[in-house]
Structure 1
């Protein structure tokens, strides 16, 4: 299996980092790290996602969507998210 670099996304106080891997079958799997806090108060939730994808881009899009779905309720009634993309496109 190979790991692929993927872009990170900052949404409010959260840093979202997808991890995309190629499988032995030639498709891709996805996980995503959702970090918040600083120093000893840092929390990192890692979601291992179900599903296989034909492309690394498809797996990455799925991972980002699931992370946003996970953190959206934590933004209160407004539910407004303003993404700031970091890393290579």
Structure 2
């Protein structure tokens, strides 16, 4: 998405549901910056968790005053 790379990951929890995380990476080489977000809701499938994380990341990137 422009100068950002979004990567979602999921993991199965002890209760059998899925947790979502999102990495938003920017920059290149030694100037690379990576922010990782972990989300509270749990999901019935890995696909649902991954989609939620990506949707949250896209919403973040569309904020008018996005920090550098």
For normalisation by structure 1, the TM-score amounts to: 0.69
Pair 1:62-2:52 in alignment: yes
CA deviation vs aligned residue, 1:45-77 (integer Å, no higher than 9, x gap): 10111100001111011000011111112698x
Q: Identify unmatched segments of 5+ residues in structure 1.
A: 1-10, 77-89
RMSD over aligned CA atoms reads 1.7
Q: Which structure 2 residue ranges, 5 or more long, are not aligned? A: none
Q: Count matched residues.
A: 66
Question: 14, 29, 35: which is aligned to 2:25?
Answer: 35
Match of 1:19 in 2: 9
CA distance in 2, matches of 1:40, 1:59: 31
What stretches of structure 1 move > 6 A for 4+ residues in a row?
Answer: none
Could you tell me how far apart the structure 1 residues matched to 2:37 and 2:65 are?
19
| 3-state DSSP of counterpart to 1:66 | helix
Instruction: State the TM-score, normalizing by the size of structure 2.
Output: 0.89
